[in-house]
Structure 1
Amino acid sequence: MAAPTSVTAPATALEPYKLHTDADFPPLKNDLILRVIRGEDVERVPVWIMRQAGRYLPEFREERAKHDFFTVCRTPALACLVTLQPIDRYAGLLDASIIFSDILVIPQALGLEVQMLPGKGPHFPEPLVDPSHLGRLKTDVDVERELRYVMEAITLTRKGLEGRCPLFGFVGAPWTLMAYMIEGGGSKNLSKAKTWLGRWPEESKELLQRVTDVVVDHLVAQAKAGAQLLQVFESWAGELSPDYFATFALPYLRQIPTRVRAALHTLSPTLSQIPIVVFARGAHYALESLSAPGIHYDVISLDWTMDPVAARNRVGETITLQGNADPCLLYAPKETIKKETRLMLEKFGTRRRYIANLGHGMLPDHDPEHLRAYLEAIRDVSSELNA
């Protein structure tokens, strides 16, 4: 395998990325997930899976044996290839695709080096240690220059999907990205990042706002490139207390859909209607604030520790819910997978305002055929319940 590589933006100036419309792509044949988000009754529950393109697939591992992780991300043809792998393998069973990229392309665009180390995961050789390091970050980031490879991959993948299902773009949320930038990688308790919140709250807010600005621009650029849905991953939300979440996460999460839609509206009123999903993992206390009038998220994704019935009662009937099987269910026998999936579907309801998924992403040692069993159970059981 090639050595880890850092990311360097193109040296030459680039023209603004073309605004793509549906007319530039093959007609969509499966709009089930979009109909659910609009609140329409459906014949079965739509399903897609977080990290559905990844290390559990032998065909993905074959590509990774040839290329560094970020080389795959930065090469549109490779990103398209691995994005389509689960769509091809599970033909007719997945109702959305998600572009193969990484949330940490935003810290890279801000000027930090990020490596993906075998057996360890993301690594920042020089994380932000204290507020004096904010000066190391780029200002006025030109996302369409720094992250153009993501846009090119989205446009290429939209064409490669041939209308089989819609395509998600995504970003990491500001608090989650800030935590990575300070911790330098994964962490059990985020002690370094949370130290910033307590010791340097104003500087933390400055960093969060700077990250938010790039997040917004990146989502807008992905929509311009052809993404049909967008998801915001606040993967470390549950590491914050309710008060800290309200101070250091929620204000920036609130900005994102409002600003994205305003920017897209100037380009195309139709494009501004793009559905936006938020996944605040572990933040049980945040369901009401994330679904409050005016925050403008269309879908709230739930992790596996949240009860579907209670969540529905808390968010009301106009928000679509997504989730939320424990990824470890896929280690169980196939009959157990089907039984537990039925219970999940019965709790969520199967006719409207629900998208099936896992409560987090696929794990590297999952058996691909056990994911197939889960997808087939979603299809068969929801069709039966809706008959």
Structure 2
Amino acid sequence: MASAQEFPPLQNDLLLRAARGETTERAPVWIMRQAGRYLPEFRALREKHEFFEICRTPALACEITLQPIRRYPGLLDASIIFSDILVVPQAMGLVVEMLPGKGPHFPDPLNEPADVARLRETVDVNTELKYVFDAITLTRKELKGQVPLIGFTGAPWTLMAYMIEGGGSKTLTKAKTWLWKYPEESKALLKRITDICVEYLVGQVKAGAQALQVFDSWAGELSPHDFAAFSAPYLTAIDFGVREILEREGISPVPLILFAKGANHALGTLASISGYDVLGLDWVIEPADAIKAVGGEGRRVALQGNIDPNILYAGKEAIEREVKLWADGFKGSGGVKPKGWIANLGHGITPGVDPDDLKWFLECVHKYSAPY
């Protein structure tokens, strides 16, 4: 793995400063899934390569990561490495396929606790996920310091749910049944996934990641009680575990972002009990309410988000109007500003978006978030 001094100097540190709660001249902006299917250059490359082939080929992952940075010069303030949260279950020994028109599919998911024996007893992330680290190092060099590079992982609950459901699900019936029917076995599996995620994120920092995001995409499928039992403790363990290892090994800390989609009820708790620098928001909470939730008792954190991704289909006039309203909310029109704000959508960009409309969105963020 490369050391920090081997990389080109960073020219745009807006995202890192905002994550630390420092004053910025405007809000930094990046988009979840910004390297993806809405881009014709991405679709052209995908016609020649299978999804996980791209993930496992550093040069291809680097190329896709750079595509939106090239298309929107000066408009994006971060890149995020092209990969997938499901590389962790693959590293644990499960087969994961990406089926056209269907998405991720596990041919042989976990059906009962005894199936956990099929997983690898130990996972050497430096072997099993070396291709991700190599892609990060290559991409840091190819970015030439234009913007920071974000690494990521899925959250333990979200990964466990996929491993049990065998793919996407509207109800998560199998995964939730595990939590209630096998609570101790569920916690043991969540702990196992957590430990791997910690090592994986530390490896990404060593490889060159300058910020990290944890995606708990299915957090909102849990009741507040179950979220407190089966998600929050493991999210907190990831944050503290990564920071502890980095400090012990003398590696400078990087900002950690948590996106627990649908768990807005837990914002105050997460701000108080975890050490995350930034909490990501979905689109179903007003900026003022989110700011209030994290600005009461306990430490204040920076926020990321949170406009509805579907605004990108509504045309330039609507995009500009909504971005202005949204930016005003995070700039303190309700009387208080967050510690810092990173502009983003409230979930990933969807495949049918016109790239020119995203460009307009980014331009509007630049216009209406300044000064911040």
* Worse overlay, 349-358 or 81-90: 349-358
Superposed CA offset, 1:114-138 (max 9, x none): 0000000000000000001010011
Return 34-43 or 165-174, whichever deviates more: 34-43
2:140 counterpart SS class: helix
Greater alpha carbon shift after TM alignment, 311-320 vs 95-104: 311-320
Report what 2:26 is aligned to.
44
Q: 1:235 is matched by which residue type in structure 2? A: S
| Structure 2 counterpart of 1:308 | 287
- SS of aligned partner of 2:259: strand
Bigger drift between 306-315 and 342-351 goes to 342-351
- Distance in 2 (CA, whole Å) between partners of 1:319 and 1:234 is 18
Distance, in Å, in 1 between the alignment partners of 2:227 and 2:204 is 27
Task: Report what 2:265 is aligned to.
Answer: 285
Q: 1:68 aligns with which of 39, 44, 50?
A: 50
**Counterpart-to-counterpart distance in 2, 1:62 and 1:221:** 31
**TM-score, scaled to structure 1:** 0.92
User: Are the equivalent residues in 2 in contact too, given 1:79–1:99 (CA < 8 A)?
Assistant: yes
1:1-387 mapped onto 2 (5 Å cutoff): 18=1, 20-270=2-252, 273-293=253-273, 295-316=274-295, 318-349=300-331, 353-383=340-370, 385-386=371-372
CA distance in 2, matches of 1:52, 1:309: 26
SS at match of 1:93: coil
- Aligned 8 A contact 1:233 1:279 in 2: yes
Deviation digits for residues 80-103 of structure 1, max 9, x if unmatched?
Answer: 000000000000000000000000
Q: Deviations over 1:326-372 (max 9, x none)?
A: 00000011111011000000001188600000000010111111111
Report if aligned partners of 1:155, 1:226 keep a CA contact under 8 Å in 2.
yes
Percent sequence identity over aligned pairs? 60
Residues 271 and 300, structure 2, Cα contact 8 Å, conserved in 1: no
Letter in 2 for 1:155: T
CA-CA distance at 1:43 after TM superposition = 1.0
RMSD, aligned α-carbons? 1.1
| Cα contact 1:39–1:318 (8 A) shared by 2 | no
Question: Residue 323 of structure 2 aligns to a residue in which SS?
Answer: helix
For 1:341 and 1:164, the matched residues in 2 are separated by 25
Deviations 1:176-224 (A, max 9, x none): 0000000000000100000101111111111111111111110000000
Letter in 2 for 1:229: A
Corresponding residue pairs, total: 364
**Deviation at 1:22?**
2.6
More deviation in 149-158 or 344-353?
344-353
Report deviation, 1:298: 0.1
SS in 2 for 1:168: strand
**Could you tell me how far apart the structure 2 residues matched to 1:56 and 1:153 are?**
22
Q: Match of 2:343, SS? A: strand
Once residues 92 and 148 of structure 2 are traced to their aligned partners in structure 1, the CA distance between those partners, rounded to angstroms, is 29
Tell me the secondary structure at the aligned position of residue 198 of structure 1: helix
Q: Find the aligned partners of 1:73 and 1:240 in 2 and give their Cα distance.
A: 30
Which TM-score applies when normalising by structure 2? 0.96
Q: Contact 2:18–2:342 at 8 Å: present in 1 too?
A: yes
User: Given that residues 284 and 306 in structure 1 are in contact (C-alpha distance below 8 angstroms), is that contact kept between their aligned partners in structure 2?
Assistant: yes
Q: CA deviation at 1:21?
A: 3.3
Letter of the 1:276 partner, please give it: L
Amino acid at match of 1:112: L
1:252 partner amino acid: Y
For the residue of structure 2 that corresponds to 1:116, the secondary structure is strand
| 2:362 partner SS | helix
Tell me the SS of whatever aligns to 2:9: coil
For 1:284, the aligned partner's letter is N
CA distance in 2, matches of 1:209, 1:181: 14
- Which secondary structure state, in structure 1, belongs to the residue aligned with residue 145 of structure 2? coil
For residues 296 and 367 of structure 1, what CA distance do their matches in structure 2 show?
A: 37
SS of the residue corresponding to residue 164 of structure 1 reads: coil
Q: Which 5+ residue runs of structure 2 have no aligned equivalent?
A: none
| Distance apart, 1:269 and its partner CA | 4.2
Q: Which amino acid aligns with 2:312?
A: L
Does the 8 A contact of 2:150 with 2:209 survive in 1?
yes
